[in-house]
């Protein structure tokens, strides 16, 4: 699939979005990268690249989250939410993509190769997760560009073509890269029937790229209704998952966890909490 769509995808990138993509590198969460201890696994990509994968193992594992970091960031920067998920039974597995500022091949990477290697990385890591955690539900999550990758794994079709994995049970999208010209089309999210929770803010902008925070609603508004949820925080910016205050972070952490439990583990109590959840001041909660 990747080979058949690579040429079309590179062409789409060349038609106007290449210059904008690196802007997302400036939007990684501001929290220092001091995650609790993760083990590291090195996996081989088909082209021989080594994919460094961070694994945070839950003591009482219920499901596995495959997490994609934002453009230019790295997995450890998300330790605040990762630590919470792991403490609540979700093992987190996160590759370091070639766009990361910490990746040894970052200098030679281009926007075209980066997007394609992200797709390959995630496919390789999904295979690893299924082999090493057999029978555990698979959840796709991510921040910014990582959230678009997660949505692609759940059926979103970009210029890169279909990349869906039917084993993905839930998507947790912490913001999104917005509506990318020539890559995200009006029909991109029309094939996402998987449950999706999007977390964003009304100040979720990327200077020079995302100028309207409402762009982040695209996956919520344009996907089939049913098991879709959107949390929008007043004043929340693109780094909300890293800089949220204690109350906002608690709402994000608890809601994402309940959403994953309800839809990946068929947890009726978690679903009841989601159904009863009301929006505190400064937060809008929408359901479809």
Pairing of strands 138-143, 90-95: unpaired
6 or 63: which leads in pLDDT: 63
Bridge partner list, 50: 44
CA distance 107 to 102: 10
> How crowded is the C-beta side of 287, counted as CA atoms within 13 Å?
11
Dist. CA 84–CA 246, nearest whole Å:
13
**From CA 149, how far away is CA 95, in angstroms rounded?**
12
Q: What is the mean pLDDT of residues 59-66?
A: 97
The token pair that represents 10 in the structure block: 């590179």
Question: 178: burial class by Cβ within 10 Å (0-12, 13-18, 19+)?
Answer: buried
In this structure, how many other beta carbons lie within 10 angstroms of the beta carbon of residue 15?
A: 12
Let me know how many helices (H) and strands (E) the chain has, helices first: 8, 9
Instruction: Indicate the pLDDT class of residue 9, thresholds 50, 70 and 90.
Output: very low
- Give the H/E segment covering residue 51: strand 50-56
The pLDDT of residue 22:
38
What is the arithmetic mean of pLDDT over 226-230? 98
Query: What are the pLDDT digits (tens) for 13-59?
Result: 443 343 344 334 334 444 434 446 899 999 999 999 999 999 999 99
Max Cα-Cα span within the chain: 51
The mean pLDDT value of the chain amounts to 89
| Tally of residues, the chain | 288
117-143 pLDDT tens trace: 999 999 999 999 999 999 999 999 999
Regarding predicted confidence, which is higher, 209 or 32?
A: 209
241's enclosing H/E stretch is helix 240-243
Separation between Cα atoms, residue 3 and residue 205, nearest integer Å? 33
Name the DSSP class of 163.
Answer: -
Q: What is the spatial distance between Cα 166 and Cα 80, in angstroms, rounded to a whole number?
A: 29
**With a threshold of 0.85, does the pTM exceed it?**
yes
**Where residue 207 falls among pLDDT bands split at 50, 70, 90?**
confident
The pLDDT value given to residue 111: 82
């Amino acid at each position: 699939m990747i080979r058949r769509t690579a040429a079309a995808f590179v062409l789409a990138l060349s038609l106007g979005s290449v210059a904008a993509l690196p802007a997302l590198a400036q939007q990684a969460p501001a929290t220092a990268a001091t995650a609790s201890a993760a083990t590291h696994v090195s996996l081989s990509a088909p082209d021989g690249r080594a994919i460094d994968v961070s694994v945070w193992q839950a003591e009482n594992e219920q499901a596995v989250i495959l997490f994609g970091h934002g453009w230019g960031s790295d997995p450890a920067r998300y330790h605040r939410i990762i630590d919470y998920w792991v403490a609540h039974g979700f093992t987190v597995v996160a590759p370091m993509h070639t766009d990361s500022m910490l990746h040894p091949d970052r200098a030679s990477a281009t926007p075209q190769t980066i997007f394609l290697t992200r797709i390959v990385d995630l496919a390789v890591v999904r295979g690893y997760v299924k082999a090493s955690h057999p029978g555990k539900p698979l959840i796709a999550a991510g921040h910014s560009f990582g959230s678009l990758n997660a949505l692609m794994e759940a059926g979103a079709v970009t210029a890169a073509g279909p990349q869906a994995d039917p084993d993905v049970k839930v998507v947790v999208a912490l913001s999104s890269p917005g509506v990318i010209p020539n890559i995200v089309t009006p029909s991109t999210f029309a094939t996402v029937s998987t449950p999706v929770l999007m977390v964003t803010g009304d100040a979720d902008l990327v200077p020079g790229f995302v100028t309207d925070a409402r762009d982040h609603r695209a996956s919520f508004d344009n996907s089939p209704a049913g098991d879709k949820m959107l949390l929008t925080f007043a004043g929340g910016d693109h780094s909300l998952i890293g800089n949220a205050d204690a109350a906002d972070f608690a709402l994000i952490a608890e809601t994402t966890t309940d959403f994953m439990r309800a839809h990946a583990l068929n947890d009726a109590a978690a679903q009841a909490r989601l159904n009863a959840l009301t929006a505190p001041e400064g937060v809008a909660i929408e359901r479809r």
